[in-house]
Structure 1
Amino acid sequence: MYQVLRRSEQKPSVNRTIAFEGEPYGSDVSLFLMDSPPGHGPVLHRHPYSETWVVRSGEAEFTVDGETTRAGPGDIVVVGAQIPHRFVNVGEGRLDMVCIHASERFIQEDL
């Protein structure tokens, strides 16, 4: 069995990000297709599962357990379960990034 979610069926948020939760489709992963403007990013938070980011274009600054690092096109950043983290678009243009959640649905605790 397989399913295809056509681009026309995906509804972006006001900041042009698309959220996909795998549970309704029998998938064990969820993800965000980020397309965010400079200065944008979530508050410090954590998940009960790991999260992986793939930067496609732009530049992001990640804060993970109190440490900061930057990532650009082609870089992959991984954070383990329960580790506080956040990121922000520090580039001059939009940040195109895939945020992969190792869970069939999003579970987030803002800190």
Structure 2
Amino acid sequence: MVGQDEPTIPGVIPADRLRMAGSRTLRFEGAQHGSGVSFFLVTNAPGQGPVLHRHPYSETWSVIDGEATIRIGEHEVVARTGDTAVVPPDTWHRFTNTGDGDLRMICIHASPVMIQENAAEDPPG
């Protein structure tokens, strides 16, 4: 039996192995599976979203379904089904589901390992 931290090459990684505890969101960290990228497959209810944070690499978001209000540095934008947003490295960012239904979005990290610094409070853009 393959342990959760062991590579599963080749093959399919079951969603239940990627699901975050107490969440509908999936977290894939590429290094564990021989991939050069990592991602979150987000499923959030209205009002949900992560805290303000940043990464030392870019992050690309693609909205699969719903609406997200996204803060990227000092800017705030709205992304809807089919839209894509890119956050440059070392830029403070977050998103919130501001739609009426579930937000489904993939958040692609340009790194085989996720590195995240959360803000203690809202820093300026």
Q: The TM-score by the shorter chain falls in which range? A: over 0.9
Identity %: 47
2:53 is matched with 45
Q: Aligned partners of 1:87 and 1:11: how far apart in 2?
A: 20
1:104 equivalent among 112, 121, 125: 112
1:89 is matched with 97
Which aligned runs of 4 or more in structure 1 are off by greater than 6 angstroms? none
Query: What pairs with 1:58-97 in structure 2 (closer than 5 Å)?
Result: 58-97=66-105
Structure 2 unmatched runs, 5+: 1-8, 120-125
Q: Aligned partners of 2:69 and 2:19: how far apart in 1?
A: 26
Paired residues of 2:15 and 2:26 also in contact (CA < 8 A) = no
Structure 1 unmatched runs, 5+: none
1:19 equivalent among 23, 27, 35: 27
What TM-score does the superposition give when structure 1 sets the normalisation length? 0.93
Query: In angstroms, what is the RMSD of aligned CA positions?
Result: 1.4
Query: Would you say how many aligned residue pairs link Structure 1 and Structure 2?
Result: 111
Q: CA deviation at 1:66?
A: 1.2
What TM-score does the superposition give when structure 2 sets the normalisation length? 0.83
Q: CA deviation at 1:12?
A: 4.2
1:2 is matched with 10
Label 1:35 to 1:13 Cα distance change in 2 as closer, same or farther (>3 A).
farther
Greater relative contact order structure (CA < 8 Å, 6+ sep): 1
Q: CA deviation at 1:8?
A: 4.8
